[in-house]
Chains A and B, each alone.
Chain A
Amino acid sequence: NAGVTQTPKFQVLKTGQSMTLQCAQDMNHEYMSWYRQDPGMGLRLIHYSVGAGITDQGEVPNGYNVSRSTTEDFPLRLLSAAPSQTSVYFCASSALLLGEQYFGPGTRLTVT
């Protein structure tokens, strides 16, 4: 069991570039989510999904897109990166009825 995996671990982008952060889980969890972590602000929910084909916005969705075509994968897309998106991004998953979220190791993104 790999749990929740994220790629890449580190990424540097220039303003205006696009990229996709990958997230996969092998626990057959229905719920998946993306958070960003900034100093002094804890983690903030970007987008989440309660199952394949179903996504919704969290607290800070602007500038990010998601889709959920399979149970296992939940990629996060930055269409036009901005310096304000410099952050550490965490993906998490959980079984809907249990609530405990399992977090990936994170992706550190820098936008210059």
Chain B
Amino acid sequence: AQSVTQPDIHITVSEGASLELRCNYSYGATPYLFWYVQSPGQGLQLLLKYFSGDTLVQGIKGFEAEFKRSQSSFNLRKPSVHWSDAAEYFCAVGAGSGGAQKLVFGQGTRLTINP
């Protein structure tokens, strides 16, 4: 069965520093991969997605992610974080007959920004 692992439960970075959030997935075929962000008390918002093609994908709010099939990874990056990026980030894989629709989520990584 497919699964997603986010190894870091909580990460703290300083404002202006670079960020990388890790995501590893387990799935036999080519996966559909997503990163979502959840601000406190809010629903989830899609940051970016990978379906096929270029392995480096650009998203909203200056985020990007790179799909590495050999490492089964889809890490999220941002060159310079802003205080407003403090939130919880979820990696997800769309799998099974539902394709992109039936999502399996990782446990989430909570991002704290130091001023």
Contact = CB atoms under 8 A, between A and B. Distances in A.
Given A42-B90, A90-B44, A100 B105 contact: no
A59 B98 CA distance: 13
A90 B102 CA distance: 14
Interface residues of A, number: 26
Contacts of B43: 4, 90, 103-106
A37 B106 CA distance: 11
Contacts of A44: 105
Interface in A31-61: 31, 33, 35, 40-45, 48, 50, 58-59
B87 to A, nearest CB: 14
Contacts of B12: none
B51 interface: yes
A103 B44 contact: yes
B102 A58 contact: yes
A42 B107 CA distance: 4
Interface centre among A4, A42, A44, A98 (most CB of B within 10 A): A42
A84 B101 CA distance: 26
